Structure 1
Amino acid sequence: MSPDFWMLTSFLVLLLIGVPVAFSLALSGAIGILAGLSPDMLATLGTNTYNGVAKYPLIAIPLFILTGLVFEKSGVALRLVRFAQALIGPRHGGLAMVAILVCLIMGGMSGSGPADAAAVAMVMLPSMTRAGYPKPFSATLIAASASTAILIPPSIALILYSIVVPGVDLRALFAAGLFPGVIAGLVLMLPAWLLARRYGWENPEGAERPPLGESFRQALPALFAPVLILGGLRSGLFTPTEAAVAGVTYGVVIGLFVTRELDWRNLWRLCGEAAVISGVVMLIIALAGIFAWAGTMLGTFRHLAEWLISLSDSGAVLLILVMVAVLLAGMLLDAISIYLILMPILIPVMQHFGWHPVWFGIVLAMNIAIGQFTPPVAINLMVTAEVAKIRLEQTVGWAMLFVAVMGSALVLVAVFPEIALWLPRVLGYAV
């Protein structure tokens, strides 16, 4: 058996028996080194682990995680809900549309689907349940809408993609993700509205509409957060890492002095939560350095890329195969693991067929976003199902509906790359 076989097989076996992804990557990388290189090369494990995280742009990840947690606890979600209700008004499907719109705005603060899903579910699920929406539907809709957070900047997934794929401008990725993220959210509104009308889930008669001016004034601090982050990036005032620092600082000021729903004790606790979440993320990235080094030295990634390219001479056919594979991976793994495992294989394929790296990154992110609410392992759906106090299997039917709907947005971006590339070009980024 070849070293490639031992490394890949051990990785799959370790995953199947429940070993965490980070340790599966490290152990299978070590097995590959033993099988194909020399036991003496195990001395490189420490160096490769360090090299996996010794990248300056990675500092943005824990900072954006903290930004999302701060805004979640600062009461901005409730203010955004009232503003969205004032915009949409009482109508069939109104609360469902509000949930989608708030998820899109919250995605521009956190960059994390699960954080987005938790914040919106806590606010929206009680009111949607009182309006007659079934809990499985509401939980699935919020989980699907929150998945757009990995597309709408600042996206933690896109930060990692810019590090894994050499030469990709993170600012261009952020700009490219905006329209596809908004489209992915908006397409969910049509089935939500149709289903609400058909089943009479929400009676708009007699419902109060919050005053637009007052609700806008209260939501203005939250609405300014994406403007601060993206405007600072566009103007050149911030690098992506500095934008993360600005986001944290702004969120703390809003929570402590504007909404006053955050105090110093809670802020200290949020720093601890962000450290734990960031530690998990960084551990995966660090131990993936062993897997990446072993795969590169053994030629495993090159062999897999050559095998993929040999499947078809058609770039369109191979793109479909890659998208299906990434979607299946998204049903089982988180975005960070998928990028670390698959990108060393997909980069040669992308270069062979001349796919634009910014567009390809957005298409991959859309696939992964769909996987975040697709059972069996749907991290966003697990969060919202826990908030709703329902079993995950109750959401499967609704999840399949929203997979098909968001899949149509994915097809649109895949067929028309300019949907993603137009804005970066207009903003003058190198694409």
Structure 2
Amino acid sequence: MVSTTLFGVFLLLVLLGAPVAICLGVSSLIVLEYLPGTPNITLLAKSAVMGGNSFPLVAIPLFVLAGEVMQRGGLSTRIVGAAYSLVGHFKAGLAYVNVLASMFFAAISGSSPATVAAIGSNMIPEMERVGYKRPFSAALTAAAGITGVMIPPSIPLIIYGVTANQSIGKLFLAGIIPGLMFGLGYMLVAKMTINNHLTPASRVSQKMVQAIEGNQKQQQGGWRQHSIWALIVPVIILGGIYGGIFTPTEAAGVAVVYALFVSLFIYRDLKISDLNSVFLKAGLTSATVLVMVVMASSFGRLLTLERVPMEVANFITTVSENPLLVLLLINIMLLIVGMFMETIASIIILTPILLPIVQTMGIDPVHFGVIMTVNLAIGFCTPPLGANLFVATGVANVSLEELVKSILPFLLAMVVMLMMVTFIPQLSLFLPSILL
């Protein structure tokens, strides 16, 4: 009765369009207040306090702020320029630039929608100018944006680490190879389908490419000399963490200070007068995430008291005790969940349910964290939730129908690479095993 009411109220509120944090909190409150045999309502307050009392969670608002400062401070523009210098002259070169720039920015912001907004606003107009169809450019940007939740610093990996009590440093390392693999996969899809996504009168002539390069040089004021200030951010963050200089949370603080210094005093694209709006936007984003974390704590506590994880585990093991088949079933479930629920809320709710199942089958919790994150990241590119899709439609000014049609080849590639991440554990565990 408790579990049915809890999930029933939650789903009803979701269908009514309430924010996920409110859905989690209100459903827990109703169960504790009105159903007999449940703990005292003070459980809600205690669980909320315990859920928010975590030092690693401090990294989330700091990384969000660092990403916002870098987006407003001109670092994303320099990253695009640096990517262009590396791969811009190949066939499908601008598509490669889009993907590579997204991966660079993902290693700074840790946010998938932020990556789409920052890189899309720079790349989609440039790609259209040289003959790429706008829906393809938007689809590529939306797909490449999900590397933001794999390549560290990843906010969903931080949430998983806190929820599953796993090392965030190990999770960051585990996400690097899958993130790079997804980026290379997108480049391959772009190369194979490029001729279908160019306007009939254009095949991206060398003259056009040279015109773009000259335009970028003029706009960016010599990015060849200055893009290093933007690209050094991931080196500072990851080098500091794995060199034992500071923790992931402290690394987030260092990233904020560095981003402010570069944006204000080196690039000078960010003004003191802009800081109010930067802090406000970062604060709103952080508050949304952290309220969700706090509210999900009491929700998860009720699930545990009602033995829901045990019931789900028993159900799955009755279907099969084969670890490969169990992982396949979990993948299918997570893909469906990712279509309808926000990534962070899904991680907080489902980790206590699914982690005991995979641990009993000998699956490494760090590997499973990457599996869960990749699964739910694909939800950024699938309707009806599809946060990346909606960001890309706004940036590119294309219809959702056009965008979904263009992103289908990339979704197929995502599923193939998801299976590789799931069934080849060393893709996730190789770096943690040799570096830690």
- Common topology (TM > 0.5): yes
Root-mean-square deviation (Å): 1.8
Match of residue 10 from structure 2: 11
Structure 2 residue corresponding to 1:281, chosen from 263, 284, 289: 289
CA distance in 2, matches of 1:44, 1:8: 18
Q: Deviations over 1:110-161 (max 9, x none)?
A: 0000111100011011111112222221111101101110000000010011
Q: Deviations over 1:34-72 (max 9, x none)?
A: 566547711322222222211111000000000100111
Q: Is 1:363 matched up with 2:371? A: yes
Q: Is 1:347 matched up with 2:355? A: yes
Amino acid at match of 1:323: N
Structure 2 residue corresponding to 1:304, chosen from 286, 302, 312: 312
CA distance in 1, matches of 2:265, 2:364: 44
CA distance in 1, matches of 2:361, 2:114: 36
Amino acid at match of 1:378: G
Higher alpha-carbon deviation: 409-418 or 36-45:
36-45
Alignment of 1:76-95 (within 5 A): 76-95=75-94
Match of residue 204 from structure 2: 203
Structure 2 residue corresponding to 1:272, chosen from 252, 259, 280: 280
Question: 1:20 Cα deviation (Å)?
Answer: 1.8
Higher alpha-carbon deviation: 11-20 or 38-47:
38-47
> Could you list the runs of 5+ residues in structure 1 that have no partner in the other structure?
none
CA distance in 1, matches of 2:213, 2:132: 21
Q: Percent identity?
A: 35
What TM-score do you get using the length of structure 2 for normalisation?
0.93
Match of residue 164 from structure 1: 163
Match of residue 424 from structure 1: 432
Match of residue 231 from structure 1: 239
Question: 1:263 Cα deviation (Å)?
Answer: 1.3
Structure 2 residue corresponding to 1:260, chosen from 262, 265, 268: 268
What TM-score do you get using the length of structure 1 for normalisation?
0.94
Match of residue 192 from structure 1: 190
CA distance in 1, matches of 2:259, 2:346: 30
Task: Describe the SS at the equivalent of 1:18.
Answer: coil
Q: Is 1:388 matched up with 2:396? A: yes
State whether residues 96 and 192 of structure 1, in contact with CA within 8 Å, keep that contact through their aligned partners in structure 2: yes
> Could you list the runs of 5+ residues in structure 2 that have no partner in the other structure?
none
Question: 1:280 Cα deviation (Å)?
Answer: 0.7
Task: Describe the SS at the equivalent of 2:382.
Answer: coil
CA distance in 1, matches of 2:259, 2:198: 39
CA distance in 2, matches of 1:210, 1:79: 13
Task: Describe the SS at the equivalent of 1:5.
Answer: helix
Q: Deviations over 1:322-370 (max 9, x none)?
A: 1111111111222111101111110211222111111111111111121
Task: Describe the SS at the equivalent of 1:237.
Answer: coil
CA distance in 2, matches of 1:147, 1:89: 22
Query: Measured at CA, do residues 144 and 200 of structure 1 come closer, stay the same or move farther in structure 2, by a change above 3 Å?
Result: closer
Match of residue 132 from structure 2: 133
Task: Describe the SS at the equivalent of 1:188.
Answer: helix
Q: Is 1:144 matched up with 2:143? A: yes
State whether residues 32 and 39 of structure 2, in contact with CA within 8 Å, keep that contact through their aligned partners in structure 1: no
Q: Deviations over 1:232-280 (max 9, x none)?
A: 0011001011000000011001100111001112123211111111111
CA distance in 1, matches of 2:134, 2:78: 23
